Amino acid sequence: MERLVSADGVVGYVDFAHNHLSTSSLLDEVERVYGRENPRIILVSGSTGGKAVNRRQGIVTAANGRVDSFIFTEDDQDRENATQIARQMRGYVTDTEASTQIVMPRAKAIEAAVAQAREYPGRRNVILVIGKGDEVYNVVNGVKQPYEGDAVVLRRLLG
């Protein structure tokens, strides 16, 4: 897990969380650290294609009622359609108070999360970018496509 903080107080975490247990554990940590500040939490996530399909529901189930915004994006979709995976994940959101978006590619999804956080300057905003950790590729059609990495994108956007 990598934690970044911008000059204006937006907190970002980059983590490998990719299933119910790891997503729940990360949210527990955010609650432990920032719970008294009533943080606004934005989750950026996708899920792998072609395997462990139950992870998609697990990620969302762990976050339902605990995040304010879901931004679904690509994450090693391999031979599946990333937008279809994101739509499936959005279908598991049961929290009617949470906003949902689908944003491709991944760097644009992180950009959308930072922009959204900055719409609430008087509140503690925590962005969780999960699934890839420090990976610098995205698997598409069996090929590792270069990707600058979540931490690099988030660091650039947070300044």
Q: For the domain that residue 130 is a member of, what is the CATH number? A: 3.90.190.20
CA distance 93 to 8: 30
Q: Given this model, what pLDDT does residue 5 score?
A: 97
Mean pLDDT per 10-residue interval, the chain, length 159 residues = 96 98 99 98 98 96 99 98 98 98 99 98 97 96 98 97
**Residue for token digits 């999360």?**
113
pLDDT at position 2: 96
Q: What is the pTM of this model?
A: 0.97
Total domains in the fold of the chain: 1
Tell whether the torsion through CA atoms of 133, 135, 140 and 145 is positive or negative.
positive
**Contact present, 152 and 139 (Cβ < 8 Å):** no
Bond from prior residue into 105 cis (ω within 30 degrees of 0): yes
Sign (positive or negative) of CA dihedral 43, 48, 52, 54:
positive
Q: Which domain holds residue 18?
A: 2-158
